[in-house]
Amino acid sequence: MRLGVPREIKTHEYRVGLTPGSVRELAHRGHRVVVETGAGDGIGCSDAAYLAAGAEIAGTGAEVFAAADLVVKVKEPQPSEFPLLRDGQILFTYLHLAPDPAQTRALVESGISAIAYETVTDAAGRLPLLAPMSEVAGRMSIQVGAHCLEKEQGGAGVLLGGVPGVAPAKVVVLGGGVVGSNATRMAVGLGARVVVLDRSLARLAHIDELLLNTVETAYATMDNIEHHVLEADLLVGAVLVPGAAAPKLVSRQMVAAMRKGSVLVDVAIDQGGCFETSRPTTHAAPTFVAEGMVHYCVTNMPGAVARTSAFALNNATLPFVLALADKGLAGALSEDPHFRAGLNVHRGHVTHAAVARDLGYAFTAPESALSD
């Protein structure tokens, strides 16, 4: 199969779809890999490293898209890339379609088969291709939140861990999944007072056991959410409904009632955000102030630590890329129902139920779309 790896063009996105090590695995199996020049520069991987791994180097993204049967990216195609998509091509990347009707329409109209990293599942119902970046984003949420609490950044001037005689900051984490548990570990490590809310008692119990009673856990009722949000110095939104728009758990009125200078980090912003005051931002302009609170809502948080993120992502995605390259789309997806769950769009059909529901498309089961 012919695989293409374009350079990422989203603002301050430095990750790359395939590392040289992944390219070498593909080339060893007889596949052709075309990489756009400079695609790996952001993670310290030169064109020479890709050539040594067996790749070909193309001068432009357009050349990569034109050459590839399978395009492997990190972030969703940007509007300038929409015209490069073509009927019968396979796209494998993060898509986050529910809050992005323009991208969904472009994918449907192109005739492409688009597989989303974030909706591929495993036998336990987990999201193995989202997990590595969720780990990074969860850990980063505390790092960036602590920075935003500094007075010069617009925050309240609070040190996350406090000092002897002065109380630490209160960190409230909405969601106890991969993002939330990693955020919690980081916040505890910095000495903050941490409260985690979730609707899964099993998750709360796991966090309690993992961190040996160093955090407070609470069931995520409306009453508990409001109570803890209003006391938060740093609020982390870490909720996820796979493939669907994130629920708005924190209203504008609740944000306005928080202590001025508090910080909100909305890791759920890729799926529309879980705070009513959230709107997408970029690494170039990561924050804004709404209702007196600093909001950090960068849609590609792990891009800031591109080298760590790219290698962690490739560890997870490479087996699936190899399956697509070796077996083709139908072969790879027909024999693996968990991989098939990643198919969001196939030749004009929306094949993920949550995306179809949220954006008003007719839903076609992936099995049916592939058989057609």
Give the C-alpha separation, 167 to 345, whole Å.
50
User: Could you say which DSSP state residue 155 is in?
Assistant: S
Give the C-alpha separation, 139 to 357, whole Å.
32
Tell me the Ramachandran region of residue 50: left when phi exceeds 0, alpha when psi lies from -120 to 50, beta otherwise: alpha
The tokens for 47 are 């064109």
- Pick the catalytic residue: 198, 233, 266, 270? 270
Q: Which residue has the tokens 């931002």?
A: 281
Please report, in angstroms and rounded to a whole number, the separation of the first and last CA atoms in the chain: 22
How far does CA 287 lie from the centroid of its chain?
18
User: Could you say which DSSP state residue 258 is in?
Assistant: S
What phi, psi does 136 have (nearest 5°)? -65, -50
User: Could you say which DSSP state residue 294 is in?
Assistant: E
Alpha-helix residue ranges (DSSP H) falling in the chain: 20-28, 47-53, 61-67, 101-110, 131-148, 178-189, 201-210, 222-231, 252-256, 306-334, 337-340, 353-359, 366-371
Q: Is 352 one of the catalytic residues?
A: no
Residue pair 118/243 in contact (Cβ under 8 Å)? The answer is: yes
Give the C-alpha separation, 95 to 343, whole Å.
10
Q: Is 206 one of the catalytic residues?
A: no
Give the C-alpha separation, 347 to 26, whole Å.
26
Amino acid present at 195: V
The tokens for 236 are 């982390």
What phi, psi does 239 have (nearest 5°)? -100, 155
Of 61, 28, 34, 74, residue with least CA distance to 50: 34
- Just list the catalytic residues: 96, 270
